[in-house]
Amino acid sequence: MSESSLRIALAQLDLLVGDVQGNAARVIECARAAHRVHQADLVAFPELALSGYPPEDLLFHRGFRRQIESGLEEVCRQAPSPCVIVGYPEYTRSTIYNSAALIADGAVAAIHRKAALPNYKVFDEKRYFHAGAQPTVAECKGFRVGLLVCEDIWEPEPAQLARADRAELLVVINASPYERNKQRERESVVRARVADIGLPIVYVNLVGGQDELVFDGNSFVMDAEGEVVMRAPAFEEGTYFVDFQRRGRGTVAPIPGKVTAELSDEATVYSALVLGVRDYVNKHGFPGVVMGLSGGVDSALTLAIAVDALGADRVHAVMMPSRYTSSISLEDAAQEARLLGVKYSELSIEGMFEATLGTLKEEFAGRPPDATEENIQSRCRMLLLMGISNKTGRMLLTTGNKSEMAVGYATLYGDMAGGFAPIKDCSKMLVYRLAAYRNSLGRVIPQRVIDRPPSAELRHEQKDSDSLPPYEVLDPILEAFIEEDLSVDELEARGFDRATVGRVLDLVKRNEYKRRQAPPGVRVSRRAFGRDWRYPITNGYRR
């Protein structure tokens, strides 16, 4: 590369929280390859690359601090001579900063401390970090590069300060988690900063799953006119390159590269679910997963996700019929397992159910059958699945969706039991859309599973609509309440029946105790149950 050009590598990596030594090794390896193979002058890594994101209370451990300091020293020693930008938690005597270090010639040449600390949605950075206050502009191969960290780009001032300090371009390192339509929002925010400061911006993002969060990558470069001139693929690791040139009157501009097309809504959600499952299972070292297969659409979609994430040989599906299980469900579950090529078992719960009812006969005397008997069936299935999980070491996946979790249409210590819940943040109507999308890639879910009315099949001729409003009505109410915090009056003003709204919101409130005991699952919406949702179990609020 000539003296008037700068090649930047965007290292979109899947890193592991807490594995400081492993993360440092990946940074070093990637930086060396970018320099040796592609002659990169500057390699930018994601936010908190050394610690992984989010490190949460690991930050308070003294041993973790020592590992971070040792990891940064190792990167300084072994990274190649061109510039490297790496995110890490910077410890001082009494504070911690979320920082980006620019390393050149074996030493830290500049440090930017994140100024804008997010403390909303899934973020609680003010619990851990102090905010920086100063701009950071450093030279790399004669180019003045302004450093920013993630939320800094969402506020006008950090970019303005870097521009005032004579930055010629900005590099922003990020750990921005996925949610639906997030990439559009990111690019809109960066476009607003570009319009304000008139500089090109390099945006490098983390990729991979971390507990409930999935990071989608989608790193990009925007020129000074607000055009995206390079976009990396979503949900894929990789190192992507962009060349900057100094042109007339000293302006710096990127040379357009490959702009990967944005995926559809269904494709992005499905990709997030697959990546979330893959990383949760693999990063925990499980040999595979086991799950119940009911013949319904939720378990069918979960099975497809599991196979796409892990491969058929690592997935075990178990059908556990009772007296209420229809022949259609048995046929469809077996067909799903055949289509996806997984190990399939059929284990009846009838004997367990009868024995449990017999044991409880005296206790239940004089009381009519109700949801109690339904829940017993679900808990019998849990015993079988957890037994297989314990014996084989395979993690149990649960198959409940967000609509069910919201209103408590699930059995505590029954179908809610498990290690991970892939579709926990997907409404029932989204589940149908995702099932149709997956079938568009290759038919793995029988069409009648998608078409027939959903049923838990825990009593004779049961349907979900016996207990709940139709999902076409329920899901918009839940979305407006959970994601927009709308009141009963506001929901009624949108055209919803007030009595139905009141009933739904009462169910949401009443079932918080269940959700607190549910396994984690992939977050795909603007507000998911888990890190996003902090609703009191005990409260006297009246709608």
C-alpha 436/C-alpha 493 separation (Å) is 32
| Domain coverage including residue 429 | 266-464
Q: Out of 30, 83, 140, 150, which one is annotated catalytic?
A: 150
pLDDT band at 506 (very low <50, low <70, confident <90, very high): very high
Residues 403-451 have pLDDT tens digits of 999 999 999 999 999 999 999 999 999 999 999 999 999 999 999 999 9
Q: Out of 30, 76, 83, 114, which one is annotated catalytic?
A: 114
Q: Are 363 and 303 in a shared domain?
A: yes
C-alpha 202/C-alpha 170 separation (Å) is 6
pLDDT band at 3 (very low <50, low <70, confident <90, very high): low
Residue pair 5/245 in contact (Cβ under 8 Å)? The answer is yes
C-alpha 285/C-alpha 272 separation (Å) is 20
pLDDT band at 457 (very low <50, low <70, confident <90, very high): low
Helices 297-310, 327-340: inter-axial angle, 10-degree rounding: 10
Q: What is the three-class DSSP state of 231?
A: strand
Helices 471-484, 428-440: inter-axial angle, 10-degree rounding: 110
Q: Are 190 and 230 in a shared domain?
A: yes
Share of the chain above pLDDT 90, in %: 88
Strand runs (DSSP E) across 349-397, as ranges? 395-397
Residues 171-204 have pLDDT tens digits of 999 999 999 999 999 999 999 999 999 999 999 9
What local confidence, expressed as pLDDT, does residue 250 receive? 72
Mean pLDDT of 267-283: 98
Q: What share of the chain is helix, strand, coil (3-state, %, to 5)?
A: 40, 20, 40
C-alpha 126/C-alpha 104 separation (Å) is 30
What local confidence, expressed as pLDDT, does residue 539 receive? 85
Domain count, the chain: 2
C-alpha 302/C-alpha 445 separation (Å) is 11
C-alpha 494/C-alpha 321 separation (Å) is 42
What local confidence, expressed as pLDDT, does residue 2 receive? 57
What local confidence, expressed as pLDDT, does residue 15 receive? 97
What's the token pair of residue 439? Answer: 């079938």
475's enclosing H/E stretch is: helix 471-484
Helices 350-359, 371-392: inter-axial angle, 10-degree rounding: 120
C-alpha 138/C-alpha 444 separation (Å) is 53
149's enclosing H/E stretch is: strand 143-149
DSSP annotation of 520 = P
User: CA triplet 492, 497, 503: central angle to 5 degrees?
Assistant: 100
Q: In what order do the strands lie in the sheet with 42-44?
A: 107-113, 96-104, 83-91, 42-44, 5-12, 238-246, 252-254
Is the confidence at residue 96, as pLDDT, over 70? yes
> Does 47 qualify as catalytic in the annotation?
yes
Is 354 part of a structural domain of the chain? yes
Residues 478-494 have pLDDT tens digits of 999 999 999 999 999 99
> Does 114 qualify as catalytic in the annotation?
yes
User: In angstroms, what is the C-alpha Rg of the chain?
Assistant: 26
Judge if the upstream peptide bond of residue 54 is cis by omega within 30 degrees of 0: yes
Per-position b or e across 361-388, b if 16+ CB within 10 A of its CB: eeeeeeeeeeeebbbbbbbbbbbbbbeb
Q: Are 322 and 291 in a shared domain?
A: yes
Q: Are 196 and 313 in a shared domain?
A: no
Q: Are strands 5-12 and 238-246 parallel, antiparallel or unpaired?
A: antiparallel
What local confidence, expressed as pLDDT, does residue 145 receive? 96
Is 378 part of a structural domain of the chain? yes
Is the confidence at residue 1, as pLDDT, over 60? no
What local confidence, expressed as pLDDT, does residue 465 receive? 74
Domain boundary at 411, 431, 464, which? 464
pLDDT band at 543 (very low <50, low <70, confident <90, very high): low
Q: Are 217 and 318 in a shared domain?
A: no
Is the confidence at residue 464, as pLDDT, over 90? no
Q: Are 105 and 26 in a shared domain?
A: yes
pLDDT band at 25 (very low <50, low <70, confident <90, very high): very high
Is the confidence at residue 501, as pLDDT, over 70? yes
Q: Are 236 and 140 in a shared domain?
A: yes
Residues 51-85 have pLDDT tens digits of 999 999 999 999 999 999 999 999 999 987 789 99
Is 499 part of a structural domain of the chain? no
Residues 352-374 have pLDDT tens digits of 999 999 999 999 999 999 999 99
Mean pLDDT of 7-35: 96
Share of the chain above pLDDT 70, in %: 98
- What value does the mean pLDDT of the chain take? 94
Q: Are 302 and 443 in a shared domain?
A: yes
Domain boundary at 421, 443, 464, which? 464
Instruction: Identify the burial level of 350 via C-beta atoms within 10 angstroms of its C-beta, where 0-12 means exposed, 13-18 middle and 19 or more buried.
Output: middle
Q: Are 144 and 10 in a shared domain?
A: yes
Is 532 part of a structural domain of the chain? no
What local confidence, expressed as pLDDT, does residue 415 receive? 92
Q: Out of 30, 47, 83, 374, which one is annotated catalytic?
A: 47
Q: Are 227 and 318 in a shared domain?
A: no
Residue pair 514/412 in contact (Cβ under 8 Å)? The answer is yes
Residue pair 77/48 in contact (Cβ under 8 Å)? The answer is no
Strand runs (DSSP E) across 158-237, as ranges? 169-174, 201-205, 207-210, 213-216, 220-222, 228-231
Is 281 part of a structural domain of the chain? yes
CATH assignment at residue 145: 3.60.110.10
Q: Are 318 and 454 in a shared domain?
A: yes
pLDDT band at 20 (very low <50, low <70, confident <90, very high): very high
Is 511 part of a structural domain of the chain? no
Is 157 part of a structural domain of the chain? yes
C-alpha 215/C-alpha 232 separation (Å) is 13
What local confidence, expressed as pLDDT, does residue 100 receive? 98
What local confidence, expressed as pLDDT, does residue 4 receive? 85
Beta-ladder partners of 108: 103
Q: Is 210 left (phi over 0), alpha (psi -120 to 50) or beta?
A: beta
Is 495 part of a structural domain of the chain? no
CATH assignment at residue 432: 3.40.50.620
Type of residue at 289: V
- If one compares 540 and 422, the residue with the highest pLDDT of the two is 422
* Phi, then psi, of 283 in degrees rounded to 5: -70, -20
The CA distances from residue 523 to 181, 182, 430, in Å, are 13, 12, 13
What local confidence, expressed as pLDDT, does residue 110 receive? 95
- If one compares 152 and 452, the residue with the highest pLDDT of the two is 152
C-alpha 387/C-alpha 393 separation (Å) is 10
C-alpha 273/C-alpha 279 separation (Å) is 10
Q: How many CB atoms lie within 10 A of CB 490?
A: 14
Is the confidence at residue 456, as pLDDT, over 80? no
Q: Are 236 and 341 in a shared domain?
A: no
Per-position b or e across 440-459, b if 16+ CB within 10 A of its CB: eeeebbbeebbebebbbbbb
Domain boundary at 224, 256, 288, which? 256
